[in-house]
Amino acid sequence: MDHDTLLALFDRQTRRDARPDAPDSTVQRVGDVVRQTGPAHGWNGVLWSDLDAARADGAIAEQVRHFTALGRAFEWKLYAHDRPAGLGERLRAAGFVAGPEEAVMVAEAAGPGATGSPPPEGVELRAVTDEAGVALVTEVHERAFGTDATHLGRRLLDQLAARPQTVVAVVALAGDRPVGSARLELPPGTVFAGLWGGGTVPEWRGRGIYRALVAHRARLAAERGHRYLQVDASGMSRPILRRLGFTPLSTTTPYVYEP
């Protein structure tokens, strides 16, 4: 599939026609904006928009009113190909703060990334199914990324309890120590499976744990009928993903509004 066709399919299936990623969240299309609204510990934000210069500021103001009325911080997930040009500047002018740009990368789920990369000797990949496992995932996340993972843990517990068929979480254990973790999201009705939260604690980096987590999730995605893997890649993970067969599709920048 050529780049433009794949990008259009990605936009339609994962953004414009997105389904809620948690049982207590809703997705609505309001005019030319698609947004998800959920609890405070869930993901709240704008998934897709198709705006022009005349309508952009009004649409931004409407989303600010909606989420601030609920007391929610929210994210406008802006992609490089979104219209109109300069939408990021309009968001900043409305009070949003931009986070680091990430590369949207894709690969065939049954491609080279799924065929090798076992975990290093002494490390076991274990499925997460309960509260104790989620605690290990959040511990790794906080150590790997230096951010609080309380909301992530609550959201993952909600997903595992209500929709276990749409999410997989895995933790890498060296003995009884969690040294890596990752999530796989399997939205129904799409060809894309999402790789999220792949991280390794600092003292275990460079030993192949991240690659093993990618390969493990790729195999699961292919087994469950998803053709493509999609990941929002940081600068640290891009070189590894390229070597595993991932190619750039676009870029995305989170614009966050705090009420």
Whether 185 is covered by a domain: the verdict is: yes
Total of domains in the chain: 2
Whether 148 is covered by a domain: the verdict is: yes
Boundary-marking domain end, from 86, 103, 120: 103
Whether 255 is covered by a domain: the verdict is: no
My answer on whether 135 and 186 are in the same domain is: yes
Q: With bands split at pLDDT 50, 70 and 90, how would you rate the model's confidence at 115? A: low
My answer on whether 15 and 111 are in the same domain is: no
Predicted confidence (pLDDT) per residue in 133-155, tens digit: 999 999 999 999 999 999 999 99
Residue 163: CB atoms within 10 A of its CB come to 16
My answer on whether 160 and 37 are in the same domain is: no
Of 43, 92, 138, nearest to 253 by C-alpha is 92
In 101-246, which ranges are E strands?
A: 102-108, 123-127, 167-174, 177-185, 192-200, 228-233
Whether 259 is covered by a domain: the verdict is: no
Of 51, 50, 53, nearest to 8 by C-alpha is 50
CB 121 within 8 A of CB 253: no
Determine the pLDDT at residue 116: 66
Boundary-marking domain end, from 50, 71, 103: 103
My answer on whether 36 and 116 are in the same domain is: no
Determine the pLDDT at residue 66: 98
Boundary-marking domain end, from 69, 103, 137: 103
My answer on whether 23 and 93 are in the same domain is: yes
At 102, list the tokens.
């990430």
Q: What CATH code is carried by the domain that includes residue 206?
A: 3.40.630.30
Determine the pLDDT at residue 112: 61
Determine the pLDDT at residue 11: 98
Determine the pLDDT at residue 111: 80
**Domain that includes residue 53, residue range:** 3-103
pLDDT above 90 (res 180): yes
Predicted confidence (pLDDT) per residue in 15-37, tens digit: 999 999 988 999 999 999 999 99
pLDDT above 90 (res 113): no
My answer on whether 93 and 130 are in the same domain is: no
Whether 258 is covered by a domain: the verdict is: no
Strands 192-200 and 228-233 come out as: parallel
Long-range Cβ pairs for the range 48-57 (8 Å, 24+): 48/11, 48/15, 48/16, 48/18, 49/82, 49/83, 49/87, 50/83, 51/83, 51/84, 51/87, 52/83, 52/84, 53/84, 53/86, 55/31, 56/84, 56/87, 56/90, 57/90, 57/94
Q: How far apart are CA 169 and CA 173, in angstroms?
A: 13
- Average pLDDT over every residue of 41-69: 97
Q: Which residues make beta-bridge pairs with 183?
A: 169, 196
My answer on whether 43 and 83 are in the same domain is: yes
Count the helices and strands in the chain (H runs, E runs). 7, 12
